[in-house]
Amino acid sequence: MKKREVRTLSEVAELARVSESTASRALAGSPLVAEKTRKHVLQIAKLCNYVVNQNARNLRLKQTNVIEVVSPVWQNRRKTIADPFFLELLGAIGDNLNAKGYDLLLSTQPPWNDDWQRNPLMTGKADGIILIGQGASDPMIHELANDYPQVVVWGADIPYQPYCVVGSDNVEGGRLATEHLISVGRQSIAFLGDIKMPEIGHRHEGYRKALAEAGRPYDPDLTFSVPFDVGAVHNSALELVNSGKDFDAVFATSDVIAMSLISELIASGRSVPEDVAVVGFDNVSSSALYNPGLTTIAQDMALGGKLLVEKVLARAAGEEQGSTLMPVKLIVRSSCGVNL
């Protein structure tokens, strides 16, 4: 079994009887080196299992080839349902980063914690940051993006905040969901989600828009605001279920929330979709496996990951990059019954 001891460039150079520079050039595939000596150096390097020390290389090159991904969701992980949506988006980001030769540093803490010591751009740990979700930290993001252009966020495009964001067309998503519920003959449609979060706020806008388009009145009592926290999701679903309100449909603003709601509905003796139709949001992979199959609004996570990576790398390279709103799609399954 060959030992994989880490060696230094100078050792390789010595063994190959060339200078460090030539060894370096050979390894980097520089055209400034003779084909013969290049082959020689490469062979020696392979022989002693040499690999360049990225740390030293990065120090010299003043770059890192690392992008940090931060999920505020994680800040209160213990209270939070591990939403598969995040994993799917993370996967897409990882794939795209990898394809471009970048590493992914995953952080559970926002960059502005510990008096900005956590900021990987300041500590030289990363070349850029992808922030997942804005929530309440929008002002901090604003400040961060103001100092560092190489920041991109996944979330809602808030007009007066001029940082680069990639996200779905949440207004249209909300509209589509609600429109579908209306088209399927439902009369009283409730809304379940934390409208203080920008993305959810937009979905609520779409909800009201669809109502208006159909000439329906908007009843504020049918909007149930729920923080993204497992106890609260549960409580709000319960609150809605036990509200005594008369509703025959619910637009739940995430698939996980929809599932939580449906399980409560069923526990309370109501059936889905017969008694109440439900549409979710995200098109998480398990929504197809749910019983009943969840009708939902699909976000294109693959495209999202691609765009986030493209933009953050472009910005790290000094280019300008604007925000992008991605189209959404209605996926019809069984949780709303059939068209009447």
Which residues of this chain interact with DNA, rule CB under 7 A? 8-10, 17-22, 24-25, 27-28, 32-38, 52-53, 56-57, 59-62
What region does 65 belong to: left with phi over 0, alpha with psi -120 to 50, or beta?
Answer: left
By CB under 8 A, name the binding residues for a second copy: 1, 3-4, 6, 49, 51-56, 58-59, 64, 66, 69, 74, 77, 81-82, 84, 86-88, 90-91, 94-95, 98, 103-109, 116-117, 119, 121-125, 143, 146-148, 230, 256, 259-260, 262-263, 266, 284-286, 288-293
Residue with smaller CB distance to DNA, 8 or 43: 8
Q: Which of 198, 199, 161, 173 is nearest to 323 (CA)?
A: 161
- E-strand ranges in the chain read 66-70, 103-107, 128-132, 151-154, 164-168, 189-192, 223-224, 249-252, 277-282, 295-298, 324-326, 329-331
Residue 330 interacts with which of a second copy, DNA, none, CB < 5 to 8 Å by class: none
Residue with smaller CB distance to DNA, 59 or 212: 59
Helix axes 35-47, 20-28, angle to 10 degrees: 90
Residue with smaller CB distance to DNA, 19 or 243: 19
* Least distance from a second copy to the Cβ atom of residue 215, Å: 34
Residue with smaller CB distance to a second copy, 209 or 334: 334
The amino acid at residue 267 is A
Phi/psi for 187 (5° steps) reads -100, -45
DSSP state string for 318-331: T-----EEE--EEE
Residue 148 interacts with which of a second copy, DNA, none, CB < 5 to 8 Å by class: a second copy
Residue 239 interacts with which of DNA, a second copy, none, CB < 5 to 8 Å by class: none
